Amino acid sequence: MSHFGRSGPPDIADTYSLLVLNITFRTTADDLFPLFDKYGKVVDIFIPRDRRTGESRGFAFVRYKYADEAQKAVERLDGRVVDGREITVQFAKYGPKAERIHKGRIVEAPSKSRHRSRSRSPRKRYRDDSRDRDSRKKSRSRSRERSDRDRYRAKDRDYRRRSRSRSASPDYSRGRGRGRYDDERPSSSRSRDSLSPRPSPRRSLEPRRSYSPRKTSPRKNSPVKSGSPDRRSRDGVSPIPRSASPRGRPAASRSPSPRNSDVGVSCSPHVPIYRVHIRIS
DNA sequence: GTTGAGCGTT
């Protein structure tokens, strides 16, 4: 069964692809097969691996023959610890060659379907349960103060996700064609080619408002780890236990707290204020 | 020898 992924996709007609994330870099298709095969007929398993290093990229695709089996595998194997890591199983979202997937199912030929594009949810990726890893990406402000040496250090790992999400500023690129903000300018002949970047209308002044529950030492610790490899963290930066098992999935979304902010209706529209000038002759 | 965000090959 080790021929999975060796010789292309056997038959991807009416198959249900599952994306298996967070597998170890050593996990192979042979390791995943017995697990997934217990829950259904596994047609193919493919683990994308890097062209350069040959290492697996940490995720795999498992194709089932039937949807119910795939669904059951998702429910059963999602969160299962495989080889020391907790894997995440979910339906694959994109097809191998931009093939259309209808809820995990790969319909045969894209040309057959007349529908050009149903809601593929192009931009918005699946809002996966916010794991601890997400916080790292978020907190990573777009500071380009990373020294070049650090970039090379992290390049061997970052090349994956860079190739995927190229543009880092989708919002700004949208208004490239024609400025939407023309409206605000009444008749100012100042063309939009002004080098001065317009101030963003609303920019969060303070990203993190939550004060740390721990007592923060008043010493100024640089938030970014700018170089300084010799920086010995002897303060006892507790190494995060790797088996933190972030399986905690916040099923209950945080309460939106719909406070009854009574909008001031004090000024009733019915009673306009008339300002009458009484001129005493 | 390591790492860990993310959607695919003959």
Residue whose structure tokens are 């970039």: A151
- For the beta carbon of residue A4, count every other beta carbon within 10 angstroms: 22
* Dist CA A172 CA A175 (whole Å): 6
Residue nearest to nucleotide B7 (CA to C1'): A94
What's the half-sphere exposure (Cβ side, CA atoms, 13 Å) at A58? 8
Per-residue pLDDT of A64-107, as tens digits, reads 999 999 999 999 999 999 988 999 999 998 877 767 777 778 77
- CA A75 to C1' B10, whole Å: 31
Residue nearest to nucleotide B5 (CA to C1'): A161
Query: Nearest nucleotide to A135 by CA–C1' distance?
Result: B5
- CA A226 to C1' B4, whole Å: 21
**Contact positions of strand B to protein Cβ (< 7 A):** 2-10
- CA A264 to C1' B3, whole Å: 54
Per-residue pLDDT of A143-189, as tens digits, reads 433 434 444 444 444 444 444 433 333 334 333 333 333 333 443 34
Residue nearest to nucleotide B8 (CA to C1'): A96
Query: Nearest nucleotide to A97 by CA–C1' distance?
Result: B8
- Longest CA pairwise span in chain A (Å): 106
- CA A47 to C1' B9, whole Å: 9
More confident residue, A190 or A118: A190
pLDDT of residue A7: 64
In this structure, the dihedral spanned by the alpha carbons of residues A221, A224, A230 and A234, taken in order and rounded to 10 degrees, is: 40
Q: What is the per-residue burial (b if ≥16 Cβ within 10 Å, else e) of A21-30?
A: bbbeeebbbe
pLDDT of residue A13: 73
pLDDT grade for A12, boundaries at 50, 70 and 90: low
Q: Which of A5-14, A25-34, A192-201 has the lowest mean pLDDT?
A: A192-201
For chain A, what percent of residues have pLDDT higher than 70? 34
Residue nearest to nucleotide B2 (CA to C1'): A25
Query: Nearest nucleotide to A136 by CA–C1' distance?
Result: B5
- CA A21 to C1' B6, whole Å: 7
> Which pTM value belongs to this model?
0.46
Query: Nearest nucleotide to A242 by CA–C1' distance?
Result: B4
